């Protein structure tokens, strides 16, 4: 009798052990299916962290996108997440715009950058491996003079709301006025940016000055004319640093290049 009881207890113990082990294996298997495994060299995790650090301005003066991150940047820019991020920022801007009460004297201003804020250079940077190749000013000028940059849809929609609200919209760009002025005006108009107050390009006075200094001085001039800057939008931190920034600033994502 004792032998039979011992054998029965042993069988029950084995069954319980197998049940617990099987459940543990199932949980581990489900977790592995739900959690994507990093690549063997860790590049996926590194590139995600690198892009976040770039947008937070923790990585500065970076000359090129790390080579191992080219596919990550391509996927971000063309895979939908970039557009989702822009839409969220646009919604935040318009929420702020809807809360503003303008004075009605025509002196309520808004600042917008141009390249990769209003219009996109994604097709140019595709040929530059999304920023993995060195910046080529001659090549970019040849691209920009064609006037083929498409509008960034969320920003165009925001621009139209700003104009409709009654803001005087100033477009400030680091593009050279002499060589790219006409092409830039035509490009913006063809893409639907109609009704802005003024397009300001870099002229000889600001040649060699950093974007921060150049754009600060332009904003100071605008305020000197009596305008009140309610908002300032750009894809580079240098668009949003310096003097006379306005009441609020909004940074758009751009992991393809850095402008000091």
**Cβ-contact 171, 187 below 8 angstroms:** no
pLDDT at 48 over 80: yes
CATH of the domain at 88: 3.40.50.1000
pLDDT at position 10 is: 56
Axis crossing angle, helix 81-99 with helix 70-78, rounded to the nearest 10: 50
- Domains identified in the chain, total number: 1
37: in domain: no
For residue 11, name the pLDDT band (cuts at 50, 70, 90).
low
**pLDDT tens digits, one per residue of 163-206:** 999 999 999 999 999 999 999 999 999 999 999 999 999 999 99
pLDDT at 25 over 60: no
Tell me the C-alpha distance between 22 and 232, whole Å: 58
14: in domain: no
pLDDT at 17 over 80: no
- Least reliable range by pLDDT among 3-12, 33-42, 183-192, 249-258: 33-42
pLDDT at position 42 is: 74
16: in domain: no
Spatial CA neighbour of 228 closest among 79, 75, 102: 102
What DSSP assignment string belongs to the chain? Answer: -HHHHHHHHHHHHHHHHHHHHHHHHHHHHHHHHHSPPPPTT-HHHHHHHHHHHHHTT-S-S--S--GGGHHHHHHHHHSSHHHHHHHHHHHHHHHHHHH----SSS-EEEEE--BTTTB--HHHHHHTGGGTSPP-HHHHHHHHTTT-PPB-HHHHHHHHHHHHHT-EEEEEEEEEHHHHHHHHHHHHHHTT--S-SEEEEE-GGGTT--HHHHHHHHHHHHHHTT-EEEEEEESSGGGS-SS---SEEEEPP--S----
pLDDT at 24 over 90: no
218: in domain: yes
pLDDT at 5 over 60: no
Residues spanned by the domain of 162: 43-251
**pLDDT tens digits, one per residue of 90-112:** 999 999 999 999 999 999 999 99
Spatial CA neighbour of 112 closest among 61, 72, 153, 168: 168
pLDDT at position 36 is: 33
pLDDT at position 12 is: 47
204: in domain: yes
25: in domain: no
31: in domain: no
Mean pLDDT of the chain: 89
For residue 256, name the pLDDT band (cuts at 50, 70, 90).
very high
Burial class (CB in 10 A: 0-12, 13-18, 19+), 42: exposed
19: in domain: no
pLDDT at 246 over 80: yes
Report residue 200: phi and psi, to 5°: -115, 120
């Amino acid at each position: 009798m004792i032998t039979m009881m011992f054998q029965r207890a042993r069988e029950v113990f084995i069954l319980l052990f197998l049940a617990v082990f099987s459940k543990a294996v199932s949980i581990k298997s489900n977790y592995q299916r739900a959690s994507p495994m990093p690549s063997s060299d860790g590049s996926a995790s590194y590139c995600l962290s690198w892009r976040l650090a770039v947008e937070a301005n923790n990585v500065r003066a970076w000359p090129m996108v790390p080579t191992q991150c080219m596919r990550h940047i391509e996927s971000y820019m063309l895979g939908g997440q970039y557009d989702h991020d822009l839409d969220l920022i646009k919604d935040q801007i318009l929420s702020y715009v809807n809360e503003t009460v303008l004075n009605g004297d025509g002196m309520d201003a808004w600042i917008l950058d141009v390249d990769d804020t209003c219009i996109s250079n994604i097709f140019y940077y595709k040929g530059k491996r999304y920023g993995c190749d060195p910046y080529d000013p001659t090549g970019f000028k040849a691209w920009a003079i064609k006037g083929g940059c498409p509008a960034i849809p969320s920003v165009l929609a925001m621009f139209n709301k700003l104009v409709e609200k009654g803001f005087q919209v100033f477009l400030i760009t680091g593009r050279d006025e002499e060589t790219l002025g006409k092409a830039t005006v035509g490009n913006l108009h063809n893409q639907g940016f109609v009704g802005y107050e003024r397009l300001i390009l870099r002229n000889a006075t600001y040649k060699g000055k950093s974007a921060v200094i150049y754009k600060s001085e332009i904003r100071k001039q605008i305020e000197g004319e009596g305008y009140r800057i309610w908002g300032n939008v750009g894809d580079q931190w240098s668009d949003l640093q310096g003097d006379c920034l306005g009441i609020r600033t909004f940074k758009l994502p751009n992991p393809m290049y850095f402008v000091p």
